[in-house]
Copies of this chain bind each other. A is one copy, B any other.
């Protein structure tokens, strides 16, 4: 059994980790910390876990995370970088669901996240945890930077086109829509029901923190810098991301076959039949990414539709997938729940 610790378990990615790991046959929940709610049974905060999780939140200072085999950070940005080194030195593997180790260029990271990086020396070692690109490195990794939700949906949609060199990479467009849980479980007026329900808006158009992460990932695949316009939107649903991607074709190609082949062996990427329109609810609660590729009116603009559950493939599910890879387990273990529809 893998002894698991979770730092910061009172947010949505924390409770989602608990939902997945509580039924993982090879994982044993060892500790879950919360500075504010230490002592409270986890299932009092989240009654959905009654009967499944018996732990109480513990104070981080009183929790021996170094006794774990792996620690997940489900914390705000800037926490994992303070604790990762000590854990790694104690032989604990670390999966950070926040952004601390996602950007290889520390200066870029510091600019977008507005803080100094506490352990820049570890950044180079961190493996970007997108299994569809980095599976082998993840297998060897001590420290995994779990991708952001938007970056997962957008990269999985663009990768086949960029690897094949089919599109003009100077003018990529990612128009992405997220459910409100993407904003986390924090008390902010803008995410109140009465503000976010029955409403739709873009946000962060001048610049969103996921932009450099996506650009880095696409550049790696394309093997050169890319030009990307990224516009996130808030849509009145709880879970789900829908990325609508636009690129200009430089040459003709069988796009359906291209996508089908690229993801043929991927357990969690599902290329839909030609003409499909994936719905976010078709992945609700599950670790799948479903993708459709279109070429409207046979013009030179390709449109890719990519959906994930932001809390699963966009966060906790992908983190468990990474854990499975790191520990040599079947990659889909504990990730085969069928999406909840309706």
Contact = CB atoms under 8 A, between A and B. Distances in A.
Interface string A50-80: 1110000000000000000000000000000
A201 B236 contact: no
Interface residues of A, number: 89
A246 B270 contact: no
A93 interface: no
A38 interface: no
A196 B299 CA distance: 30
Given A46-B341, A301-B171, A199 B285 contact: no
A236 B238 contact: no
Nearest to A46: B341
A192 interface: yes
B342 A237 contact: no
A320 interface: no
A187 B185 contact: no
Contacts of A294: 205-206
Nearest to A206: B296
B185 A189 contact: yes
A231 interface: yes
Interface in A181-234: 181, 183, 185-189, 191-203, 205-207, 227, 229-231, 233
Interface of A: 12, 15, 19, 22-23, 46-52, 171, 173, 175, 177, 179-181, 183, 185-189, 191-203, 205-207, 227, 229-231, 233, 235-240, 242, 244, 246, 248, 270, 272, 275-286, 288, 290, 292, 294, 296-297, 299, 301, 303, 305, 307, 311, 336-342
16 contacts: A48-B340, A173-B173, A175-B175, A177-B233, A179-B198, A180-B194, A185-B342, A192-B192, A193-B196, A198-B284, A199-B240, A200-B242, A202-B244, A202-B305, A227-B299, A230-B296
